[in-house]
Amino acid sequence: MPEQQLTRRDRYRRRTVAEIKEAAMAQVRSGGPEALSLAAIARTMAMSAPALYRYFAGRDELLAELAVDTHLALARTLEAAAAGATTPASRLRAVAGAYREWALAQPHAYRLACESPHGCVASAAQRSMNVLLDVVAEAGAPPDAAIPAPLRAQLHRWNDGAGRRGHPAGVRHFGLVWWSRLHGLISLELGQHTVGTGIDPGLLYRSEVETMVDSLRHGVTAGP
Amino acid sequence: MPEQQLTRRDRYRRRTVAEIKEAAMAQVRSGGPEALSLAAIARTMAMSAPALYRYFAGRDELLAELAVDTHLALARTLEAAAAGATTPASRLRAVAGAYREWALAQPHAYRLACESPHGCVASAAQRSMNVLLDVVAEAGAPPDAAIPAPLRAQLHRWNDGAGRRGHPAGVRHFGLVWWSRLHGLISLELGQHTVGTGIDPGLLYRSEVETMVDSLRHGVTAGP
DNA sequence: TCGCTCTGTTAATGATCGTAACTATGCATT
DNA sequence: AATGCATAGTTACGATCATTAACAGAGCGA
């Protein structure tokens, strides 16, 4: 079923969908998810607002699709960052740095991606997670034995990256923790929770990344 | 200027403000910040919507005030949890546990508090931060020397808890990191990012808390 | 008592989402 | 080629919402 097999109408529809999403993402990027307005999208496309319902069931569904797209874009960015680095440790730093850069460059989009409580969105986030897992695996994660037994069992059951070889529990654990720590710092930074303190969030972030790189080097999972 | 000095009108006004906020928080708790509707508040209070503008400049200002109140309520909860524990380590666990319990019990309120990018809100969060800092200080934080010099300088300059004795940089650093890690995990949990994985977020959370308690015991700041 | 301020009202404006009813066009089948 | 259906668009409409303006009565100090 090559692209040319598509009927004229189908190709046109794809273009329209893409155009809608483009306009929608522009709104989200500049004003956040709550600023997305179907009426405004229709206006910029010289369409009537009800016409949009031919393409999306409603505002919420459009937002959900945008969140998925956003996660995929983030994943591609992380993949590129990982591919651009050479050593395992530098790859860790590169991915962590790219993650923050990306979030700071489009904070509203980051919010859209991370705080959408939709299952479909979570599954799209898996692709970013896979980048992390691979990089952590390469750097050598702590042994499974260091993880509390019940958690270890759940980690083992977790089927990450459909169709890929599974990672050991130590890698999965470290990946999850890594992700949550990076996200936590970025989330606080985006919430302006560091502005009054005079502390540079970038320094704090890099310090946390270094802590984690070190702990990987020493094969443990430890605190600040 | 005792309470009785207030004129009849002033006391009535206070009651009205409280009632408005109560109705507003109920909406936020059940549907999130975006579900807050001035019209609906007015309806439940048997008032006309424009009357609300005698008390708040608009929807945004009301939300900001709610966010501040929410932060203070969270802080009180943490203080109670800290007061209820006996040993330093158990106090750490109690505060961390109370933090998550509180967030899970009212996820929408937590979102309101944490993702409001208002300066005033951030300053209200300071009170929760102070609870953390005290508990960390009591448990014995890593030495300042372990922190990268530029970050250490900023931490030292940071004037936490107005009018209180300052904490050493090690405590401040550990407190910030602690907070961001707890918040990161909770934020992912609220975003449903663990549902597809079959991993119990509570286990992951407790494991992370234990990691940090251990690292305090050993006087280091390390990774997972 | 007079007058000002505070608190409330109704009316109106303009924006939003979403649905219904209708029209024209593309495309496939006869 | 003619017919008929799904598609993609339109206008009209109803509901909700935030916000402003203009106005009215009650509290309260002079």
Q: What is the pLDDT of residues B121-141, one digit of tens each?
A: 888 999 999 999 999 999 999
Task: For an interface test with A, give the residue of B154, B180, B194, B206 to mutate (most A CBs within 10 A).
Answer: B180
**Considering only A65-69, B88-92, B113-117, which range has the smallest mean pLDDT?**
B113-117
**Considering only A43-47, A140-144, B2-6, which range has the smallest mean pLDDT?**
B2-6
User: CA B127 – C1' C6 distance (Å)?
Assistant: 35
The residue among A191, A212, A222 whose CA lies nearest residue A132 is A212
Q: A198 in contact with B at a CB cutoff of 8 Å?
A: yes
Residue B50, min C-alpha distance to chain A (Å):
23
| B171-203: pLDDT as tens digits | 999 999 999 999 999 999 999 998 888 999 999
Q: What is the predicted pLDDT for the residue at A4?
A: 52
Q: Are A223 and B203 inside 8 Å of each other by CB?
A: no
User: CA A70 – C1' D8 distance (Å)?
Assistant: 27
Q: A188 in contact with B at a CB cutoff of 8 Å?
A: yes
| B27-47: pLDDT as tens digits | 999 999 999 999 999 999 999
Q: How far apart are CA B184 and CA A178, in angstroms?
A: 10
**Strand C nucleotides with an atom less than 7 Å from a protein beta carbon:** 6-12, 15-21, 26-28
Q: B103 in contact with A at a CB cutoff of 8 Å?
A: no
Q: What is the predicted pLDDT for the residue at B222?
A: 52
What b/e string do you get for B48-81 counting C-beta neighbours within 10 Å, with b at 16 or more? eeeebeeebeeeeebbbbbbbbbbebbbebbbeb
**Considering only A40-44, A135-139, A178-182, B156-160, which range has the smallest mean pLDDT?**
B156-160
Average confidence score pLDDT of chain B: 92
The pLDDT of residue A117 is above 90: no
Check residues B169 and A115 and name the one with the higher pLDDT.
Answer: B169
Task: Give the nearest nucleotide to B35, CA to C1'.
Answer: D17
**What is the average pLDDT across B150-157?**
95
The pLDDT of residue A1 is above 80: no
| A36-76: pLDDT as tens digits | 999 999 999 999 999 999 999 999 999 999 999 999 999 99
Q: What are phi and psi of B209, to 5 degrees?
A: -60, -45
Check residues A219 and B147 and name the one with the higher pLDDT.
Answer: B147
Q: Are A187 and B184 inside 8 Å of each other by CB?
A: yes
The pLDDT of residue B2 is above 50: no
Contact A193, B122 (CB under 8 A): yes
Q: B60 in contact with A at a CB cutoff of 8 Å?
A: no
For residue B4, what pLDDT band results from cuts at 50, 70 and 90?
A: low
| A175-210: pLDDT as tens digits | 999 999 999 999 999 998 988 889 999 999 999 999
Q: Are B180 and A181 inside 8 Å of each other by CB?
A: yes
The pLDDT of residue A223 is above 60: no
Q: What is the predicted pLDDT for the residue at B135?
A: 96
Check residues A118 and B62 and name the one with the higher pLDDT.
Answer: B62
For residue B106, what pLDDT band results from cuts at 50, 70 and 90?
A: very high
Q: What is the predicted pLDDT for the residue at B61?
A: 97
Q: Are A114 and B191 inside 8 Å of each other by CB?
A: yes
Q: What is the predicted pLDDT for the residue at B163?
A: 66
Q: What is the predicted pLDDT for the residue at B1?
A: 38
